[in-house]
Chain A
Amino acid sequence: MENFALLMQGFQASLALHNILAALAGVTLGTLAGVLPGIGISGTIALLLPISFGMEPLTALIMFSGIYYGAMYGGSITSILVNVPGEGASVVTMIEGYQMARRGRAGAALAIAAIGSFVAGTLGVVGITFIAPPLAQVAIAFGPPEYFAIAALGLLVLTNLSGGSALRAVLMMLIGLMLGTVGMDYMTGLVRFGFGVDGLGDGLDFIVIVMGVFGLGEVLARICERQNDVRVTKIKFKDLYPNREETRRSILPIFRGGLIGAIMGLIPGPSGTISTFASYALEKKLSTRREEWGKGAIEGVAGPEAANNAASSFTMIPLLSLGLPFSASAALLLSGFMIHGIQPGPMLVSTEPVLFWGLIASMYIGNLICLILNLPLVGLFASVLRAPMRYLMPVVALVTFTGAYVLNYSLFDLGVLTFFGFLGFFLQMSGYSLAPLALGAFLGPQLEQGLIQTMVLTDGNIWTLMTRPLAGTALWLGVAMIGWMIFRFIRQLLRRSSSQPVAEDV
C-alpha cells in the first residue's frame, strides 16, 4: 500500500496543468508518429529533444513517454485501412483488420484496436505500479538459451498462422529465415550474402521488408483488380462503432492478449511483435467461428492490439528499474531521460521518487487521453476508405516510400522496398501467405544469435539447451508437438489406406 500512497503523490505532480499538456502533446504526437509508417517513435523523440531542453525533467519525460506508448495506438491505423504496417507490432493486425475494412467494418476494427490498446495499456501500468521490481528479476533470468528456445518454439507454433497449406507456410517461413541471414555474421563480423553491395552489409530492415510485401504488394494487387472502385456505401454514425456482438467477442481476446503481451514485454528483443503473433494464434485456436478467420475476425484485431500495448508498457519495467531498453524505441526514450540528467536504473525509485511516480501516474492519464483522442478520430480515418482507389492507392504508395526512406535515410532501402513489393505481389497472387515470411525474417536473427551465444557459453554442448528449466520446457514442448504432428500424419495415412476414401476427418 506504500506504493499506492506514493502513486497518489505522483498523481498530484502529474496533474499540474503543464504536465497534463505535456502528456496530451506526447500522446498526440505519438499517435501521429504511429499513423505514418516509418516515421516512428525514434524520429519524433529525436526531433523534440532540443525543444525539451527548457522543460523541467518530469514534464519532458511525461512527453517522451507519451510519444512512446501513444505510437502503439496509431500503429494499427494504416494496417487496418490500407494494409501498410507502420511497425513490426502491427503486421498481425493487418491480417484480420484489413479484411474487416474491406467488408466495411473499418470503424469497428479501429475502435476495438483503440479500446483494446487502452485496456491493455492501463493494465500494463497497473503492473508497473505494483510489481515492477520483482518482474525485472524475471527478465534477468532469461539468458541466450531461453531466447533461442522461444524463437524456435515461436517458429514452430506460429508459422501456419493464417491457415491453408502447411507446406507453403513452411516454405515462406524458410525464405524469411534466409532473408534474416543477410548482413553481418555475429560471430566473425563478416558480411554474408552482401554481393559487394554496401547497403546489404547491415542486413535487410525487417520493417522495409514488411512494408514492401504487404503495403506495396497490396497497392500492386489493387491496380490489377478490374473493377477496383468498390463503392463503399455511406455509413451511419451508429454503424461506425463496434456493435454489441463485436464488442462482446472482443472482451476476452483483449485480456488474453494483454496477458501475453505483458509476459513477452519482459523479454529482451522486439517482444511486441512476437506477442502479437502469439495472441493471434491463440485466439484463432480458441475461436468457435473458424470460418471467419482470414476474412475479418474481430478477435484477430482485439487480441494482438492489446498484446502490443501491454508489451510496450511492460518494456518500461526493465527500462525504469534496470535502465535497460529492450527495444529500439525504448532506447530512444532512454536517451530522452538521459538528456535531462535522469539515469533510470535500480536506484531511480529511491533517488527520484516524485519523478518516478509522477511518470507512472502520467501514464494512466496519457492512456485515457489516447482513448478519448482516438475514438472520435475513428470516423475521420474510416472515411479515408471512401476515396476512390485510383486516388487512394498512389497516396498509399507515396506514404510507403516516404516511410521506408525516413526509417534509415537510405535510398537503397527504397530499392529493397520495391523488390519486396513485387515479390509480395507475386507470392500473394500465387496463393502464398506472407505472414510466415515476415515471421521467419523476424525470428531468424534471434534464433541464430541465441544459438551462437548458447554454443559459446556451453563450450559447444548443445544438450545443455534441453536441460535448463525454461529453455528445456519450451524445446521439449516443441519436440512433443513435432512428434504429435508426425503421429497424426501417419495415422491419417494408415486410415486412408485401410478405409474408404470417403472418410474425411478433420
Chain B
Amino acid sequence: MKFSNLLKAGLMATLTAGVLAMPVSAQEYPSKPITIIVGKSPGGSTDLLARAMAQGGEPHMGTSIVVVNRPGASGNLAFNETADAPKDGYTVGAASNSLTLAPLLGETKYNYATDLEAIALVGSSPYVLAVHNDAEWSTLADFVDHATANPGAIKYGHTGVGTGAHIATEQLASIAAIDIQAVPFDGGAPMIVALLGQHIGAIMTNPLDIQEHVRAGTIRVLATASEAPVSDPLYGGVPTFTEAGYDLVSLVWQGYAAPKGIPEDVLQTLRDGFEKIANDPATVAVIEQMGFEPHYMGGEEFAQFWIDEQAALQVTLEQTGILQSIQEQKR
C-alpha cells in the first residue's frame, strides 16, 4: 500500500497547493497544476475519461492536470465544490447529465446549468431501449402494441428514480400513451442480469453496457434515443425513436465546467486547451473505449446546450408526473 499512499499523498499535496496558493496574474496562467474534480468514485467512465483527459492534457495546457474524486450526493458535492472553487481557473469540474437534472429534482445549492461556466463537451452516447431476444416483440411498434393491449404487464428496469434512463423511459410511455411498470435496480449489472433471465421485459440503457450481448444475439435493441442513427454497424437497421414516430432524444454526455466568474482570458485558455485535448487522437480513443461517441462542443454552444436540455427536462418531468410525485412526497 505504501506505493499508492505515496501517490495519494502526492495528489493531496498538489491539490492543497492548488487551493492554497495565492492568485496569480492572468498572463502567466497556467503556472501550476489544474485540478479536475470528479463526482464519482475512481473507476467509472466519468473518472476514467477525466484521467485520460488529464493524462493527455499536459502538452496542450502547458501544465499538469490532476484528478480528485469527490463522490457523494449523486455528484452534487463535486458540482458544489467546483462552483465554490477559487475563480482562478485551476479548478475544473467533470460535468455530466445530473448537472442539468439535479437542480430540477431537489434543493441543490446552485442551479448548475446557469451557475457554472461551460468549458467543453467531449463525448455523448444515446440511451437505447433493449429487450431480450426471445421477447415476443421484435420491433418498437410490437412493443408499444403489446403494452397498449396489456396495460401494466411489461416491467422495465432502471437504476434509480430520476436518473436519465428512468426519465427517458417514462417519457416514451407518456408519448406512446402506454402503461409500463418501473422496477428499481441498484446498478446496471443486476438490471442486465434480470433482463437476461427475463425477469423484466425491457431496459433503457447506455449501449456500451449491453454491447456484447447484442453481438451475441441475446439482447436486441428496439430503438436509440439519438438524433441520427448510431454509426456502429452493430446497430445497423435499428431506428431512432424519432424515426419510429416518437419524439424522444436523450443522451448521456461527458463534459467539463469551471466556476462562474473566472477571468475571461483564463476561461478562453481553458476552452482552447480542452478543445485540443478532446480532439487529440489518444483521448478520442479512450472516449470510444468508454462507449461514447466523440462529440466535441465548444464552451458557448455547450452552455446553451445545458439551458436547452434543462428546459426540455423540466417539461418532461412535468408531463411524466415524476416531478409531481417527488414534490408531493416531500411535503
Binding site for B on A (CB under 8 A): 29, 32-33, 35-36, 39, 42-47, 49-50, 53, 139-144, 184, 186-190, 198-199, 201-202, 268-269, 318, 322-326, 331-332, 335, 338-341, 343-348, 406, 408-410, 412, 445, 449, 452-453, 456-457, 459
Say whether B3 contacts A29, CB under 8 Å.
yes
Chain A residues in 8 Å Cβ range of B211? 343, 345
B296 to chain A, nearest CB (A): 21
The count of A-to-B residue pairs whose CB atoms sit within 8 angstroms is: 164
A187 to chain B, nearest CB (A): 6
Interface of B is mostly: helix
Say whether A32 contacts B1, CB under 8 Å.
yes
Write 16 A-B pairs (CB below 8 A) sorted by A numbering: A29-B4, A32-B4, A46-B51, A144-B199, A198-B72, A201-B73, A202-B74, A318-B189, A322-B192, A323-B213, A331-B43, A338-B48, A339-B48, A409-B69, A457-B155, A457-B199
Say whether A49 contacts B51, CB under 8 Å.
yes
Say whether B155 contacts A456, CB under 8 Å.
yes
List 8 additional contacts besides A29-B4, A42-B42, A189-B326; criterion CB under 8 Å.
A45-B43, A47-B7, A49-B48, A140-B193, A190-B329, A338-B48, A345-B213, A453-B185
Say whether B329 contacts A324, CB under 8 Å.
no
Q: Kindly identify which residue among B43, B186, B197, B290 contacts A186, using a CB–CB cutoff of 8 Å.
A: B186
B69 to chain A, nearest CB (A): 6
Chain A residues in 8 Å Cβ range of B70? 409
Within 8 A of A (CB), among B44-86: 44-45, 47-48, 51, 55, 68-74, 77
Say whether A202 contacts B4, CB under 8 Å.
no
Q: Does B229 contact A (CB under 8 A)?
A: no
Say whether A189 contacts B160, CB under 8 Å.
yes
Kindly state the separation between the CA atoms of A268 and B191 in the bound complex, as whole angstroms.
10
Say whether B216 contacts A331, CB under 8 Å.
no
Kindly state the separation between the CA atoms of A198 and B106 in the bound complex, as whole angstroms.
12
On whether A42 and B216 interact (CB within 8 A), knowing A143-B194, A324-B189, the answer reads no
Say whether A339 contacts B212, CB under 8 Å.
no
A390 to chain B, nearest CB (A): 24
Residue of A nearest to B194 (CB): A143
Say whether B186 contacts A457, CB under 8 Å.
no
Chain A residues in 8 Å Cβ range of B273? none
A96 to chain B, nearest CB (A): 25
Residue of A nearest to B43 (CB): A332
Chain B residues in 8 Å Cβ range of A412? 72
A442 to chain B, nearest CB (A): 13
Kindly state the separation between the CA atoms of A449 and B7 in the bound complex, as whole angstroms.
38
On whether A332 and B161 interact (CB within 8 A), knowing A186-B186, A322-B193, A453-B183, the answer reads no
On whether A268 and B190 interact (CB within 8 A), knowing A47-B4, A339-B289, A341-B289, the answer reads yes
A279 to chain B, nearest CB (A): 24
On whether A269 and B41 interact (CB within 8 A), knowing A142-B197, A456-B183, the answer reads no
Q: Kindly identify which residue among B2, B48, B189 contacts A335, using a CB–CB cutoff of 8 Å.
A: B48
Within 8 A of A (CB), among B156-210: 160-162, 181-187, 189-190, 192-194, 196-197, 199-200, 208
Residue of A nearest to B77 (CB): A198
Chain A residues in 8 Å Cβ range of B160? 184, 189
A171 to chain B, nearest CB (A): 27
Chain B residues in 8 Å Cβ range of A47? 4, 7-8, 42
